[in-house]
């Protein structure tokens, strides 16, 4: 049985083996005749289509022809095949060589998924995560503001640090979420010799990268406030994975990073809470904000004696801002007994403007008159 497609004879299965079909797909791809390559591929049985080598060859054709749907289908089948890693590596290399970064990222994500489903391979998992994050970062830098893919890239980048999911819904074909930096670091994986895969150098890279991303885009319009919150919370989470016996300089640097992260997150969350119409989400944002303010205060108090005057003054100024937010959050949550504590904590700021701002919050609130004696302000 034969068929014609694009002027090319497509043989039937009764006369050619799978090997012959693959060679024909290779030939068509090399001649940029992608329609013919697709015709040959779809003439094969479903079992033959799902074989790793077939999928790899069609992935090459799909990448070159811009057929994203077929490329994703082939990549999914490669990931499910046995062996998968070798062909996934090949898909990554091929996509990079053709300049298709999005396809290379998709293949890297599947490689990361292989570490979840199968025994660890020869590639260093932290390096694999770093490569994926770096490639996403370069994609983001290449995109101009307003690019339709920009929001997808930002979400993918945040998700690779924390919260990423497989590209298809959970099912028998894709049962698990992919490994992310926070998730895998929390497992404290080790190599065959018992050495931690994520040593201090690795932890510093992931922590610093999340911090730099959040701070770089905090003042831009390209990242939403929720993305800023997500990426900076990653920095704080990874900071908690560092060993306790760090040298003084590294420990102080991590504490300052955490302090600035808490400040930026709390500032973002108060803005989100004020703009939120849904009561449940607004309450959640205020609660998370207050948690970060408390964490800022604790970190600051632990470092206070070791800070130089300039840094100390800067952090006191930031604390003054946060304590007003904290007062606002307590009012929003109707946590009346905590208001006096917010006022008391403001003493360290020695700033009358803090009390004035708290008083304005109180006047604008719906606090019952009988509870106002709990605010800490003279009536």
Does position 6 have pLDDT exceeding 70, yes or no? no
- Look at 21 and 178; give whichever has higher pLDDT: 21
Q: What local confidence, expressed as pLDDT, does residue 225 receive?
A: 95
Q: What local confidence, expressed as pLDDT, does residue 340 receive?
A: 87
Average pLDDT over residues 180-206: 86
Does position 37 have pLDDT exceeding 60, yes or no? yes
Least Cα distance to 267 among 297, 215, 229, 221 occurs for 229
CATH number of 1-123: 1.25.40
Q: What local confidence, expressed as pLDDT, does residue 48 receive?
A: 87
Does position 378 have pLDDT exceeding 80, yes or no? no
Cα R_g (the chain), whole angstroms? 27
Least Cα distance to 213 among 194, 203, 227 occurs for 227
Domain spans of the chain, in order of start:
1-123, 244-379
What is the DSSP secondary structure assignment for residue 167, as one 8-state letter?
S
- Least confident segment among 13-17, 86-90, 171-175: 171-175
Least Cα distance to 188 among 180, 178, 201, 198 occurs for 198
The number of C-alpha atoms within 13 Å of 133 and in the hemisphere containing its C-beta is 25
The CA distance from 325 to 290, in Å, is 8
pTM for the full model?
Answer: 0.83
Does position 161 have pLDDT exceeding 70, yes or no? yes
The CA distance from 246 to 147, in Å, is 43
Average pLDDT of the chain, as a whole number? 84
Least Cα distance to 295 among 270, 251, 263 occurs for 263
Each residue's pLDDT tens digit, 259-281: 999 999 999 999 999 999 999 99
- 315 and 357 Cβ atoms separated by less than 8 Å: no
Q: What local confidence, expressed as pLDDT, does residue 82 receive?
A: 75
Average pLDDT over residues 137-147: 80
Q: What local confidence, expressed as pLDDT, does residue 146 receive?
A: 67
Least Cα distance to 240 among 227, 251, 229, 230 occurs for 251
């Amino acid at each position: 049985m034969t068929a014609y497609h694009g002027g090319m004879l497509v043989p039937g299965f009764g006369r050619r083996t799978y090997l012959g079909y693959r060679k024909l797909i290779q030939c068509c791809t090399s001649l940029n005749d992608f329609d013919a390559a697709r015709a040959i591929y779809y003439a094969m049985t479903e079992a033959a289509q799902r074989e790793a080598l077939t999928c790899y060859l069609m992935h090459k054709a799909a990448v070159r022809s811009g057929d994203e749907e077929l490329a994703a289908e082939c990549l999914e089948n490669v990931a499910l095949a046995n062996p998968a890693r070798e062909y996934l590596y090949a898909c990554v290399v091929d996509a990079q060589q053709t300049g298709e970064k999005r396809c290379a990222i998709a293949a890297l994500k599947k490689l990361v998924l292989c570490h979840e489903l199968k025994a660890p391979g020869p590639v260093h998992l932290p390096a694999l995560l770093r490569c994926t994050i770096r490639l996403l970062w370069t994609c983001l830098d290449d995109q101009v503001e307003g690019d339709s893919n920009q929001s997808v890239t930002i979400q993918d980048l945040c998700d690779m640090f924390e919260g990423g999911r497989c590209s298809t819904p959970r099912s028998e074909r894709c049962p698990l979420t992919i490994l992310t930096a926070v998730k895998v670091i929390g497992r404290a994986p080790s190599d065959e010799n018992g050495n931690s895969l994520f040593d201090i150098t690795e932890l510093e890279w992931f922590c610093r990268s999340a911090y730099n991303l959040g701070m770089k885009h905090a003042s831009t319009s390209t990242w939403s406030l929720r993305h800023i919150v997500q990426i900076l919370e990653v920095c704080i989470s990874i900071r908690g994975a560092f060993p306790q016996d760090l040298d003084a300089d590294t420990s102080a640097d991590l504490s300052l990073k955490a302090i600035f992260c808490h400040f930026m997150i709390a500032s973002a969350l108060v803005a989100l809470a004020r703009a939120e119409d849904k009561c449940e989400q607004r309450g959640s944002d205020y609660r998370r904000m207050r948690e970060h303010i408390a964490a800022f205060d604790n970190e600051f108090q632990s470092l206070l004696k070791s800070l130089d005057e300039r840094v100390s003054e800067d952090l006191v100024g930031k604390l003054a801002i946060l304590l007003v937010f904290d007062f606002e959050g307590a009012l929003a949550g109707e946590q009346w007994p905590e208001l006096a504590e917010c006022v008391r904590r403001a003493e360290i700021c020695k700033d009358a403007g803090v009390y004035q701002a708290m008083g304005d919050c109180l006047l604008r609130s719906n606090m019952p008159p009988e509870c106002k004696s709990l605010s800490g302000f003279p009536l």
